[in-house]
Amino acid sequence: MRAQLLAQAKRLVVKIGSSLVASRDGGLRVAQIASIVSDLAQIHATNRQVVIVSSGAIVAGIQPLGLKAYPQSIPLKQAAAAVGQSRLIRAYEKSFEKTGDTVAQILLTHQDLADRKRFLNARHTLTSLLKYDVIPIINENDSVSVDEIRFGDNDSLAGQVAHLVDADLLVILSDVDGLFTADPRQQPSATLIPLVEKFTKAIEHTAGVSRSQESRGGMVTKIHAAKHVARFGVSTLLLNGEIQGLLPTVLQGKSGGTFFLPHISPLNSRKQWIAFTLRSKGQLQLDQGAVEALQQRGKSLLPSGILDVKGQFNAGDPVTCIDKKDREFAKGLVNYSAQILRDIKGRNTRDIQKQFGKREYEEVIHRDNMVLL
């Protein structure tokens, strides 16, 4: 299965971690960038499309700005990213020139993908670039991103890009060999997990104890990204990017890294966008009956099952549904504002009609706009 999915993957999103392309005291790792570029060019030449998501802007900006350490304040991070990003892209461009490939830089903020129209625009741009055989190199637009509009880490950005371009495979290159049963630095007996078929609690726990240097996310965000893309039918490969030639051989079926199998019944693009791209604006706490109706019987959410409404949101906003123990289990686009829901929660349709007249929608969240998490 692993070999087959890797062999069939035609459109790849390759995430490259900061530590692979830059170091805090030495600036850009030009030779290492050239090594990765040579592997990617080889893959590109064998009839596969490549979209790069590269970190490293902030780290690459540390040395030229004369900073002593990784910047902590937002303005300094933004300044370092502005200086580092242009150097980073120049290094990629120079290396890809040698292999005869054309690259394009795209910097995204979360808002570019949270708005469905802008999401589709970005998708068109990327699809056109791929049609013209260009290798897009994407990063978060760190210099203008403040917390509310951040992706936060590039593992999550790469996962969203995989959805954006409808990729077959997400490759995450970092300075570790893959997911281990424990932290290999502390437990030499730890072994590499070559295949993950299901995202169990044990796997997520294993990620918590594994390490990755420099990158903002570490192993936890990598597993989250893999879990998310699996929901829409994309497999993930975690691989050590320091080893030249490894990725092309692994794609041809050799062992290496950790491979995550995709979900068997993937979500469609719109549901995927609701589940993965949109950020929840509030929560609806549901009684047991409503939880079961949503989880087991594929029903829409009605006002009668709502116990509590948390947060402020408007009609059309994304909200999460939680059970009595505060566990999030569904997310969807709500038909009514928080204010209206506070009035109609817990009541049946006839009651609501009597007091408020006929409402436009019977459902609070229609099944078509809802995803189970």
Q: Tell me the closest approach of the beta carbon of residue 160 to ligand GLU, in angstroms.
A: 13
In whole angstroms, what is the distance from residue 35 CA to residue 155 CA? 21
Assess 154 for contact with ligand GLU (CB under 6 A).
yes
CA dihedral 183→188→192→196, nearest 10 degrees, is -50
For ligand GLU, the closer CB: 139 or 272? 139
Specify the stretch interacting with ligand GLU by CB under 6 A; choose among 36-44, 45-53, 128-136, 211-219: 211-219
> Closest by alpha carbon to 321, among 283, 366, 356?
283
Among 32, 63, 109, 215, which residue interacts with ligand GLU (rule: CB under 6 A)?
Answer: 215
Place of tokens 């991103």: 145
For ligand GLU, the closer CB: 160 or 283? 160
Question: In the range 11-50, which residues lie near ligand GLU by CB under 6 A?
Answer: 18
- The alpha carbon of residue 83 and the mean position of all alpha carbons in its chain are separated, in whole angstroms, by 25
- DSSP, collapsed to helix, strand or coil, labels residue 194 as coil
For ligand GLU, how many residues bind (rule: CB under 6 A)? 15
Give the full edge-to-edge strand order of the sheet including 103-108.
103-108, 135-140, 49-54, 11-16, 169-174, 235-240, 258-260, 195-196
Torsion sign (Cα): 352, 355, 358, 359: negative
Which pairing describes strands 135-140 and 49-54: parallel, antiparallel, or unpaired? parallel
For ligand GLU, the closer CB: 152 or 266? 152
Residue 310's Cβ-side half-sphere holds a number of Cα atoms within 13 Å equal to 14
For ligand GLU, the closer CB: 216 or 231? 216
Assess 363 for contact with ligand GLU (CB under 6 A).
no
Question: What track of x and - describes contact with ligand GLU for positions 80 through 109 (by CB under 6 A)?
Answer: -x----------------------------
Q: Tell me the closest approach of the beta carbon of residue 110 to ligand GLU, in angstroms.
A: 12
Assess 112 for contact with ligand GLU (CB under 6 A).
no
Q: How many residues does the chain have?
A: 373
Among 58, 137, 274, 330, which residue interacts with ligand GLU (rule: CB under 6 A)?
Answer: 58
Question: What track of x and - describes contact with ligand GLU for positions 134 through 153 (by CB under 6 A)?
Answer: -----xx-x----------x
Classify the phi-psi angles of 203: left when phi > 0, otherwise alpha if psi is within -120 to 50, otherwise beta: alpha
Binding site for ligand GLU (CB under 6 A): 18, 55-59, 81, 139-140, 142, 153-154, 215-217
